[in-house]
Structure 1
Amino acid sequence: MGDHTLGFFTGLQIGSLWHHNHGYDLLDKPRRAKFTAGLKSVAAEKHENPRLEVITSSPVFKKAGLDADMDQQSWAEWFKCAKLLNRELGRDATVDRVHKLYLPVFFWLKKQIREAKATRDGTMIVGLSCPQGGGKTTITNFLVKMFAAEGITCAIASTDDFYLTYDKQRELAETYASNPLLEFRGNPGTMDVDLMCNTVSALAHCGPGDEINIPRYNKSAYKGRGDRVPEEDWPTVKGPVDLVILEGWCMGFQPVENPSTSDIAEVNEFLKDFAKVYDLLDVMLVVEIADPEYVYDWRKQAEDTMKAKGKAGMTSAQLKDFVDRFMPAYKEYLPGLYGNGVSTELPQLNIKIDSNRIPID
């Protein structure tokens, strides 16, 4: 899978804990008073205010079912969060990104948290599925930032960090020598599922004073073949944690009854074990793409960015070979994820994006 892009969070690593320890208001008192006054008749102005119309008619807002929840206070919170995002995004702050994507997802998750707390206590575990390059790490980082502003602690883990050690991956490749899908890290079968489940469960149940180590994976080790970082170098999360987000390119994939090829059939068997991760989830976010071929262009964009920074990158042939190893799984499992979801009992929000990562109907 592609390297993590951490955006504006200098020094943030996957598995880090974010916690906002001091409250602040993004609007000073005079501006807040003026802003609040302007929202008093927001319901009546809904069809006259272009900005609100743009927001409420957007695909993610509608799919999230937020319209009934948006009272005066909610809209005030919405635009307060927008100010935070605009500041962090700078020139990249667009209506599409801020109001049509990040904020609808954030408010949907807040709704899920409220509904869950009405029936039980404890940590909520969110699964996030998104193809490589689709922006899952960026979305996750912004969610963490917004939750932190409300005093909600989040722990983030990626399926990438649970890849097998270099030696275990070599053993797997030798065992399935004729299967290119299991030759290198990436597909189900190349991850330590027990370690993943144990880590996520530990994060969800850690209390005050508890410390949980989050595995890390070094993709540049062994000339790019990769290896797990030594345990003594894993980052530590201190409990308690309010929200755990587990993100990955194949999150939500479910085994199929009749695999299309012998290679994907072997991956399918490993996926049966990987699927036990879903028993831990409370909510599922799915970033949906119209065409898996987008991944080739997105991966090239990432490589071009690295090369522009003076870092080594893949050649065109290497890039194609890299993505080719994921494409069979995309084509085999995405239709089921998009059409049926992970589980009928698991709340799921699908966010469909185009090749420019803009939400669409």
Structure 2
Amino acid sequence: MAEHHPRASAAHGSSPPRNIVDTHIAAPGPKEAPITTPPDTPPARLPARLAAWVEAQVAAAARPPLLMVSGAQGLGKSTAIAALAAHPQLRIATLSLDDVYLTQAARQRLAASIHPLCATRGPPGTHDLALLADTLDALASGHETAIPRFDKRLDDRAPKAEWPRAPAAPHAIVIEGWLMGVRPAPAPEPAPINALEAEEDPDGQWRGWQEAALQSGYAQLWDRADAFLHLDAPGFEVVPRWRLEQEATLLGTTPARLPPARRAWVARFVQHYERLTRRMLAGHRRPGAVIRLGPNRQLLADGPAQG
């Protein structure tokens, strides 16, 4: 996603130690039983529910499982994943799909050769899947591994010297991202669904490029997973507000204090993800367990496993 943020100082073994990296990132497995969560559970319980799911996957696996977690922008995926670092018994290597965006220079080349919207990081086709595959291979080998980092404020990959290291021999590898497990369109989708598509991609070239990526490299990535967990927003309608709140947090302010120009930028930005977010919420994705959230990110009774 090319978020052009203003520059600012930003921020199988036994007896596993408490040593987990918060570094944010499958072949689809069998459908899982729905997770049971009481209604009206406070949002703070999401990390606990995620941890319980990871624990169950580790207990059922013969080797460290590769687990993929999806959820719309601003839902709180990264925060919940980071909480796994406090797990008292498991070494969990965590990554974010956000951290393997193509460099700014690489996306500018795509923008020049394919479509101007390719400069915006986030949609399919804007991730360095080869870098991610190498990282996952290194983690699966049991070696201590450097995890890529992306600086969203600079809209570019962080220097390797700043990459954190995941622990050796993790009990699980968890990767989160807004589109984890999404499937290509089941049929042609020629009609634009928002102003961004209608005004900047009227002939569908950019959308077609994304679908081609989903049919190739992303499908191969999903095939690696042992299980999926889908964190479902109540609908795309809440995503602009959630993303606005996320933007305010990133810039160290409140949504009400964001200037009109920045609010307009967020409104346009989320349109890059609307089509596939709606597709995910409609269930056109790899099978997995489902946790449903309400409009204020509160946990609701979990939905049935979907695929």
CA deviations over 1:203-237 (Å, ceiling 9, x no partner): 1222xxx331111111222xxxx111222332222
Contact 1:106 1:143 in 2 (8 A): yes
2:119 pairs with 171, 183, 187, which one?
183
Equivalent residue number for residue 20 of structure 1: 18
CA distance in 2 between counterparts of 1:240 and 1:109 reads 16
Write the distance in 1 (CA, Å) between the matches of 2:280 and 2:44.
30
Whose RCO is larger (CA < 8 A, sep 6+)? 2
Greater helix share, structure number: 1
Structure 2 letter corresponding to 1:107: A
Question: What is the aligned partner in structure 2 of residue 63 from structure 1?
Answer: 34
SS of 1:308's equivalent in the other structure is coil
| CA separation of 1:307 and 1:329: change in aligned 2, threshold 3 A | same
TM-score (norm 2): 0.75
Q: How many residues align?
A: 257
Q: Which has the larger radius of gyration?
A: 1
Alpha-carbon offset, residue 329 of structure 1: 2.3
Does the C-alpha gap of structure 1 residues 231 and 304 become closer, same or farther in structure 2, counting only changes over 3 Å? closer
CA distance in 1, matches of 2:163, 2:52: 32
CA contact (8 A) 1:260 1:332 kept: no
Q: Structure 1 residue runs of 4+, over 3 Å off?
A: 101-105, 311-314
Cα drift, residue 333 of structure 1: 4.1
Partner of 2:84 in structure 1? Answer: 143
Give, in whole Å, the separation in 2 of the partners of 1:267 and 1:356. Answer: 30
SS of the residue aligned with 1:336?
A: coil
Q: Which amino acid aligns with 1:20?
A: R
Match for 1:134: what amino acid?
A: L
TM-score by length of 1: 0.64
Q: Which residue of the other structure, out of 247, 251, 264, is the alignment partner of 2:176? A: 247
Q: CA deviation at 1:283?
A: 1.6
Q: Show the counterpart of 1:45.
A: none
**Correspondence 1:271 to 2:209:** no
Deviations 1:106-146 (A, max 9, x none): 32332222121xxx2x312110101110110121122332x
SS of 1:64's partner is: coil
Which residue does the alignment assign to 1:205? Answer: 141
Query: Which of 243, 251, 264 is 1:299 aligned to?
Result: 243
Amino acid at match of 1:165: T
Which residue of structure 1 aligns with residue 7 of structure 2?
Answer: none
RMSD: 2.9
- 1:308 & 1:171 partners in 2: Cα distance? 34
Deviation of the 1:66 alpha carbon: 9.0
2-structure distance, mates of 1:2, 1:308:
21
- For residues 154 and 239 of structure 1, what CA distance do their matches in structure 2 show? 10
Question: What SS is found at the alignment partner of 2:230?
Answer: strand
Give the Å deviation of 1:238: 3.6
Give the letter for the 2:109 counterpart. E
Partners of 1:113 and 1:329 in 2: how far apart? 30
Check the 8 A contact 1:19/1:154 in 2, yes or no.
no
The amino acid across from 1:63 in the alignment is P
Distance 1:322 1:66, change over 3 A: closer
| Structure 2 unpaired stretches of 5+ | 4-10, 20-32, 191-203, 302-307
Q: CA separation in 1, counterparts of 2:232 and 2:85? A: 21
1:296: how far off? 0.4
CA distance in 2, matches of 1:96, 1:123: 30
CA contact (8 A) 1:187 1:326 kept: yes
